[in-house]
Amino acid sequence: MHRSFASFAHLACITALMASAVDCSPAIEASDGAESVEQALASCVGGARPSTGVALERVWPSVSFDKPVAMVEAPGRGFYVVEKTGLVKLMTSAASPSTFVDLRSRVNASPNEAGLLGMALHPKFAQNGLVFFSYTKPSSTSPANLRSVIARAKSTDGGATIDLTTLTELLSFDQPYSNHNGGHIAFGKDENLYAGFGDGGSGGDPQGHGQNVNTLLGAILRLDVDATTYAIPPTNPFASGGGRPEIYAWGFRNPWRFSFDRVTGDLWAGDVGQSAWEEVDKVVLGGNYGWRTREGNHCYGASTCSSAGLIAPVVEYPRSDGISITGGFVYRGTAISTLVGRYVYGDFGSGRIWSIDASAPSPSPRLLMESGKSIASFAEDASGELYVLDYGTGQVHRVVATVASNGIPSRLSQTGCFLASDPSSPAPSLVPYAVNAELWSDGADKARWMALPSGGKIRVGADGDWELPVGTVLAKSFSLAGKKIETRLFVRHTDGGWAGYAYEWNDAQTDALLLETGKTKLVGAQSWTIPSRADCMTCHNGAAGGSLGLETQQLNRTFTYPDGTTQNQLDRLQAMGAFSAIAPLPAVRTALPRPHEPGANAPRARAYLHANCSFCHRPDGPGRGALDLRFSADLAGTHACNAAPELDTLGVVNARLFAPGQPSRSMLSVRMKATGAGRMPPLASARVDAAGAALIDQWIGATTSCF
């Protein structure tokens, strides 16, 4: 039964923006629970997310955190939730947060990958009250104003708070760049403290830290912290010389979350890739994991490379599945029998969660779910049950067992969003709309619609972004030379998360079939990529609010509706009662400039970047570095002007993200014109937008300074 879009009889369509009346009576569910396509036409509503037998359940429904990056069980008290900004909150069984420690005055959390990044309780915490923190602080001797710190402090009240007078720095070192700070810490079964740090940042490991054992960067360290500061475990590979004695293993780009199997003691880590491959590593004493000689199993920056002495990842996945791995845990709980003994991990960008058999020599990943979450970290409780921290919403979810179901109609004609008799025609419940600044889609013509559930209201944020109600379905159809290629449905499921589904039109143009994976094909002489569900969530990420383009400044324009009426879209939706009274439209509204209509270059260029780049390149987004390409940021606030790039420069000498007056030195321009690796946008586009690139070049060329 197709429950994901149309099986909720109590949810009917919103009043259509047509002059004629629309029958919005609810669908009648058949006595056996089955539903006909005709019945489904009464609504186009997002229902339950498809499930493989595993789901996420919110732990504290009324509590959200500010950029949660770690969670540790507080023995006998609840959980400590670590916020990147420098706060650790204690969540008791009553779900009432209190402050365990406030390190905000000590922490530099300004860059996306900096801040309070890790916390660990001493194995004898119940006796000694010792807690360890990993964070970045300001440093006048660092080019990035960042210094990584591992510090120790004591709780003298049984774990309710930290006595900050006991805070002692055990180890610290400067970071050369603002990213790849790693920062995770955890105790192993040997009761030593392990700490992971990235290669120092920028892009491509420009200082060669990954293969340099005389630096703490690009390594997982092992420290005996029962000393005054710390001591070196005698079996560390360089305990007697030849490298930094703190190193346990090296060759990492940015190990983002590692854990110990509570049964075997094995150390598992996720290592974030450069631009092509993410990897899971089983980390052993003295292991070299290959970066920057290799990215995953592949030579980096060369056609051939030696693998001598390098340990291959257990599994890897390409950018079509995600952009930033988050390491997890080997499941040792009891609630989900099918997961026992499997390593569970996910991706920050795509929200996908997989598992592999931790005991298999060459395991095959099993996709557990398309979570729709910005997975910053997993956590484990004393019973071995797992949790997921959503960086975007600040919510904490428990991994639970559920009934396996598919639920996504296999044909567009079955979704209730388009007519069964003519799937090219939207159902009456779909409201057409247009935006001021379009996302470049390789020259395709696009049509857009939205469907809101009965009673659902749009909440308008202070920044103009719209929060669409649970049950919303957004639809977009793509055509080339008059031929329909694909239709995408973007659905806000009952768990509050979003998911994207692509339907490929058949050659006869009579219906479109659901794709389970992405696909690249020729349309005439043009290569066209239909995105995977993971690709959808890379752009439709939590930092961008899930839905793209649904914001006041984008929809503040006139539109000619199918009934022939031309009206401002906001006024039309307002008259329908589509907006919440709690977070309504503002009285004064601005409109995003239209990039390809007459006007000043700078605003039009900024509008183009807002539509095409800002969903990733914004605070807390999955884009690299501090780049902020939202229209609301002034030029200095973009952190692009005269800024050195953090990825490779594609051969450009003395490159900058934005070099005033010089498009040829500006990576904003260079990447737009690239056609292979390094191209922006990196997904679902193979053709250069010549008009868009020319607009950006005109803007850069006419700019004389950063202020």
Q: What pLDDT is stored for residue 3 in this prediction? A: 40
Residue with the bigger pLDDT between 467 and 37: it is 467
Question: Are 149 and 159 contacting, i.e. CB atoms less than 8 angstroms apart?
Answer: no
Give me the half-sphere count of Cα atoms (radius 13 Å) on the Cβ side of residue 125.
Answer: 22
Query: Which residue from 59, 126, 128, 130 is spatially nearest to 101, judged by alpha carbons?
Result: 130
* Contact indicator for 414, 38 with CB cutoff of 8 Å: no
Q: How far apart are CA 230 and CA 235, in angstroms?
A: 15
Question: Rounded mean pLDDT of 426-438?
Answer: 96
Helix (H, G, I), strand (E, B) or coil at 544: helix
Please indicate, yes or no, whether the overall pTM of this predicted structure exceeds 0.85. no
Quote the CA–CA distance of 397 and 495 in Å, as a whole number: 11
Q: Three-state SS for 542?
A: helix
Instruction: Report the C-alpha gap between 333 and 383 in whole angstroms.
Output: 6
Burial-class residue 265 by CB neighbours within 10 Å (0-12, 13-18, 19+).
Answer: exposed
Q: Which of 11-25, 209-223, 601-615 is predicted least confidently? A: 11-25
Lowest-confidence range among 28-37, 68-77, 219-228, 539-548?
28-37
Say what the pLDDT of residue 14 is: 35
Question: CA–CA separation, 172 vs 164, rounded Å?
Answer: 18
Whether 482 shows a pLDDT value over 90: the answer reads yes
Phi-psi region of 345 (alpha: psi -120 to 50; beta: other; left: phi over 0): beta
What confidence category does residue 679 fall into, taking pLDDT thresholds of 50, 70 and 90?
confident
One-character DSSP codes across 546-592: SSSS-BHHHH-SEEE-TTS-EEEHHHHHHHHT-B-SSS---SS---P
Decide if 668 contacts 657 (C-beta within 8 A): yes
In the block, tokens 């595993």 appear at: 54
Q: Give the distance from CA 25 to its chain's centroid.
A: 38
Q: How confident is the model at residue 540 (pLDDT cuts 50, 70, 90)?
A: confident
Closest CA to 497 of 450, 448, 533: 533
The span from the CA of 52 to the CA of 491, in Å, is: 18
Question: At 54, is the secondary structure helix, strand, or coil?
Answer: strand
Q: How confident is the model at residue 624 (pLDDT cuts 50, 70, 90)?
A: confident
User: Per-residue b/e over 118-144, b at no fewer than 16 CB within 10 Å?
Assistant: bbbbbbebeeebbbbbbbbbebeebeb
DSSP 629-684: --TTS-TGGGT-BTPPPSS--TT-TT-BSB-TT-GGGBHHHHHHH--STT-SS-SS
Q: How many CB atoms lie within 10 A of CB 240?
A: 9
pLDDT at 374 over 60: yes
For residues 228-244, average pLDDT: 98
Per-residue model confidence (pLDDT) at position 545: 80
Give SS3 for 360.
coil
Task: Sort strands 352-357 and 342-347 into parallel, antiparallel or unpaired.
Answer: antiparallel
- Residue 432's DSSP bridge partners are 449
Q: What average pLDDT does the segment 419-434 reach? A: 96
Q: What is the pLDDT of residues 273-332, one digit of tens each?
A: 998 999 999 999 999 999 999 999 999 989 999 999 999 999 999 988 999 999 999 999
Q: Locate tokens 């569900």: which residue?
A: 533
Residue 606 — φ and ψ, nearest 5°?
-65, -35
As a whole number of angstroms, the distance between CA 87 and CA 99 comes to 7
Residue 144 is given by DSSP the state T
Tokens of 131: 């807690």
CA distances, 399 to each of 308, 328, 371 (Å): 39, 12, 11
> What local confidence, expressed as pLDDT, does residue 647 receive?
79
First to last CA, the chain: 58
62-97 tens-digit pLDDT: 999 999 999 999 998 999 999 999 999 999 977 789
Report the alpha-carbon distance of residue 441 to residue 549 in Å, rounded: 14
What is the C-alpha to C-alpha distance for residues 368 and 347, in angstroms, rounded to an integer?
A: 12
Which pLDDT band, with edges at 50, 70 and 90, does 508 fall under? very high
3-state percent helix, strand, coil for the chain, nearest multiple of 5: 10, 30, 55
List pLDDT tens digits, range 94-121.
778 999 999 999 999 998 899 999 999 9
Q: Is the pLDDT of residue 37 over 50?
A: no
Could you tell me the domains of the chain? 54-401 (2.120.10.30), 421-576 (no CATH), 601-702 (no CATH)
Structure tokens at 394: 């600040």
What is the percent of the chain where pLDDT is above 90? 82
Burial readout 393-413 (b: 16 or more C-beta within 10 A, e: otherwise): bbbbbbbeebeeeebbbebbb
**Of 14, 11, 30, which is closest to residue 22 (Cα–Cα)?**
14
Name every residue whose Cβ is closer than 8 Å to that of residue 651 and which is 6 or more positions away in sequence. none
CA nearest neighbour of 88 among 61, 62, 117, 59: 117
Q: What is the DSSP string of 285-340?
A: TT-B--TTTEETTEESSSS----TTPPPPSEEEETTT-SSEEEEEE---SS-GGGT
- The residue ranges of DSSP E strands in 26-141, in sequence order, are 54-58, 68-74, 78-83, 87-91, 97-102, 116-121, 130-137
Mean per-residue pLDDT over the chain, rounded: 91
Give yes or no for a contact between 432 and 17, defined as CB atoms under 8 angstroms apart.
yes
- Over range 515-530, report the average pLDDT: 93
Structure tokens at 181: 């700070």
- For position 595, what pLDDT does the model report? 97
Q: How far apart are CA 512 and CA 581, in angstroms?
A: 38
24, pLDDT greater than 50:
no
Q: In this structure, what token pair is assigned to residue 28?
A: 């009648």
> How far apart (Å, rounded) are the C-alpha atoms in residues 7 and 22?
19
168 C-beta neighbours (distance < 10 Å), count = 11
pLDDT digits (tens, 9 = 90+) for 389-415: 999 899 999 999 998 887 789 999 999
Pairwise CA distance, residues 536 & 492, whole Å: 13
Say what the pLDDT of residue 406 is. 77
Q: Is the pLDDT of residue 30 over 50?
A: no
What CA–CA distance (Å, rounded) separates 112 from 628? 11
The pairing of strands 512-514 and 352-357 is unpaired
CA–chain centroid gap for 210, Å, is 25
Collapsed DSSP state (helix, strand, coil) of residue 413:
helix
Percent of the chain at pLDDT exceeding 70: 94
pLDDT at 58 over 50: yes
Residue 681: asked if its preceding bond is cis (omega within 30°), the reply is yes
| Residue bearing the bigger pLDDT, 129 or 407 | 129
pLDDT surpassing 80 at residue 254: yes
Examine the pLDDT at 443 and tell me if it is beyond 80.
yes
Residue 585 vs residues 214, 451, 468, 577, 613: alpha-carbon distances, Å: 57, 19, 13, 11, 25
Strand-pair partners of 73: 79
